[in-house]
């Protein structure tokens, strides 16, 4: 059989996905595997078990990224890498991230069972804490690895219970000894569900994004004055939750005000003392802003800061703004992008050029190496929810595209 006709085993990919989906499974059909949780550890353990079955060279770095290497004919050549993440959103979907890790695993299995020798080493990776829901910011494993985030700063990040990132990394046994420092990469491919409605509406099987939007994340802290809700007159109150409510509405109104292709969201809020008969005096909420135009994000953030200061002064509730993450838009390598499109068409899968509105570890990788992504449709455009779904036929198609892109980059075909 010629390599041109080589295909992955779709049933084996489905089995691996279903086995992984049992870890952290929740009633609605999704999964909950927050980063560095017991469920995350179990998922990592299963992934490492599968890597050992392939006799890969396994390394775990200081931030918990897990790498498996299949040596090439010329080990001094920069490797071809692929992967994604196994952690999930709270009550998240079973495809987000996981398909990219296990799709790459199936590629490695296919290459191994066909005794294919590549010129370049092939590397598979599970990045730590891509979702950033327990420990902000997002994509911290790949961010530390490429040098965009400081390891010690990340180590000291805490969750809502005050638990430190590094302590939880040690607790689950995935603080490795290998320095979390990038090495030269020939090319990086990340396989993922689209997480939006474009491909399904266009009746296309493969999405080929030209890049990823920029993202800016901030944490907003508001201080008020607590008191009993009954005897305290409305005049003169310093209600931190009311101040937060006004600010959050400003976030929602921002994209229409700024123009351009921007989205802005406040998705997390903590209100203290969170009692129905006590005036709130301490509120923490988050901002997530995204756009392809980096200057649009910056102008929008400056606008929000001015609005927040005005609201804080009006309500007598001081505000503190912590900029947690700022990553400019990422453009993928044009040659790799065109090759993904060409491979998908050659395999009989209609492709579509597009843009990724979701951020991915591939965005950080563009800072050090050529990268590209492969998308498959999300049913109903739904993601980060329990009902997130993609057909197994499309899962198989995307993995086949990944297989041939990696083989070509590794100098086989």
Q: Would you state the pLDDT for residue 3?
A: 87
Torsion over CA: 233, 237, 241, 247 (sign): positive
Domain with CATH 3.40.630.10 in the chain: 3-213+329-409
The partner residues of 158 in beta bridges, in order of sequence, read 164
Mean pLDDT of the chain: 97
Which residue in the block uniquely carries the two structure tokens 């927040």? 308
Q: Would you state the pLDDT for residue 1?
A: 53
Q: Would you state the pLDDT for residue 260?
A: 85
Query: Is 77 within 8 Å of 412 (Cβ atoms)?
Result: no
Helices and strands: H and E segment counts in the chain: 12, 14
Domain with CATH 3.30.70.360 in the chain: 214-327
Query: Is 204 within 8 Å of 350 (Cβ atoms)?
Result: yes
Query: Is 304 within 8 Å of 288 (Cβ atoms)?
Result: no
**Which tokens is 89 given?**
């959103």
Contacts of 156 (CB under 8 A, 6+ apart): 164, 165, 166
DSSP, res 357: S
Helix/strand/coil for 265 = strand
What's the fold here for domain 214-327?
A: Alpha-Beta Plaits (3.30.70)
Residue-by-residue pLDDT tens, the chain, 413 positions: 578 899 999 999 999 999 999 999 999 999 999 999 999 999 999 999 999 999 999 999 999 999 999 999 999 999 999 999 999 999 999 999 999 999 999 999 999 999 999 999 999 999 999 999 999 999 999 999 999 999 999 999 999 999 999 999 999 999 999 999 999 999 999 999 999 999 999 999 999 999 999 999 999 999 999 999 999 999 999 999 999 999 999 999 999 999 889 999 999 999 999 999 999 999 999 999 999 999 999 999 999 999 999 999 999 999 999 999 999 999 999 999 999 999 999 999 999 999 999 999 999 999 999 999 999 999 999 999 999 999 999 999 999 999 999 999 998 65
Q: Would you state the pLDDT for residue 320?
A: 98
Over residues 115-155, the pLDDT tens digits come to 999 999 999 999 999 999 999 999 999 999 999 999 999 99
Over residues 14-27, the pLDDT tens digits come to 999 999 999 999 99
Measured between alpha carbons, how far is 384 from 96 in angstroms, rounded to an integer? 7
Q: Would you state the pLDDT for residue 36?
A: 98
Q: What is the CATH number of domain 3-213+329-409?
A: 3.40.630.10
Q: pTM for the whole thing?
A: 0.93
Q: Would you state the pLDDT for residue 54?
A: 98
Report angle CA 56, 61, 65 to the nearest 5 degrees.
75
Query: Is 34 within 8 Å of 43 (Cβ atoms)?
Result: no
Q: Would you state the pLDDT for residue 210?
A: 98
Over residues 176-224, the pLDDT tens digits come to 999 999 999 999 999 999 999 999 999 999 999 999 999 999 999 999 9
**Which tokens is 244 given?**
């937060």
């Amino acid at each position: 059989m010629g390599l041109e006709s080589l295909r992955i085993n779709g049933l084996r990919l489905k089995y691996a996905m279903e086995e992984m989906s049992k870890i952290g499974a929740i009633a609605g059909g999704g999964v909950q595997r927050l980063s560095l949780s017991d469920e995350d550890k179990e998922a990592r353990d299963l992934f490492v078990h599968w890597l050992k079955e392939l006799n890969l060279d396994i390394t775990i770095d200081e931030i918990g990224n897990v790498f498996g290497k299949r040596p090439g004919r010329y080990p001094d050549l920069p490797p071809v890498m692929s992967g994604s993440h196994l952690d999930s959103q709270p009550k998240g979907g079973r495809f987000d991230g996981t398909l990219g890790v296990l799709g790459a695993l199936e590629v490695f299995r296919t290459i191994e069972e066909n005794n294919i020798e590549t010129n370049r080493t092939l590397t598979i990776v599970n990045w730590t804490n891509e979702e950033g829901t327990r420990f902000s910011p997002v994509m911290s494993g790949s961010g530390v690895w490429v040098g965009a985030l400081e390891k010690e700063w990340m180590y000291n990040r805490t969750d809502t219970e005050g638990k430190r990132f590094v302590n939880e990394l040690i607790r689950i046994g995935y603080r490795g000894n290998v320095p979390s420092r990038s090495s030269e990469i020939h090319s990086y491919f990340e396989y993922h569900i689209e997480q939006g409605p474009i491909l399904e509406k266009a009746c296309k099987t493969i999405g080929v994004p030209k890049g990823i939007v920029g993202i800016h994340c901030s944490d907003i802290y508001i201080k008020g004055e607590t008191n009993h809700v009954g005897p305290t007159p409305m005049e003169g109150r310093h209600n931190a939750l009311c101040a937060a409510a006004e600010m959050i509405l400003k976030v929602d109104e921002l994209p229409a005000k700024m123009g351009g292709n921007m989205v802005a969201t406040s998705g997390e809020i903590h209100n203290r003392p969170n009692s129905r008969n006590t005036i709130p005096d301490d509120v923490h909420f988050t901002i997530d802003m995204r756009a392809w135009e980096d200057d649009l994000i910056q102008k929008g953030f400056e606008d929000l800061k001015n609005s927040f200061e005005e609201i804080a002064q009006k309500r007598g509730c001081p505000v503190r703004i912590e900029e947690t993450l700022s990553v400019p838009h990422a453009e993928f390598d044009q040659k790799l992008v065109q090759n993904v499109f060409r491979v998908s068409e050659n395999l009989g899968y209609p492709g579509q050029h597009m843009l990724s509105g979701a951020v991915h570890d591939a965005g950080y990788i563009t800072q050090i190496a050529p990268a590209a992504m492969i998308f498959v449709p999300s049913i109903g455009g739904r993601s980060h929810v329990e009902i997130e779904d993609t057909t197994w036929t499309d899962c198989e198609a995307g993995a086949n595209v990944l297989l041939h892109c990696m083989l070509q980059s590794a100098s086989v075909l």
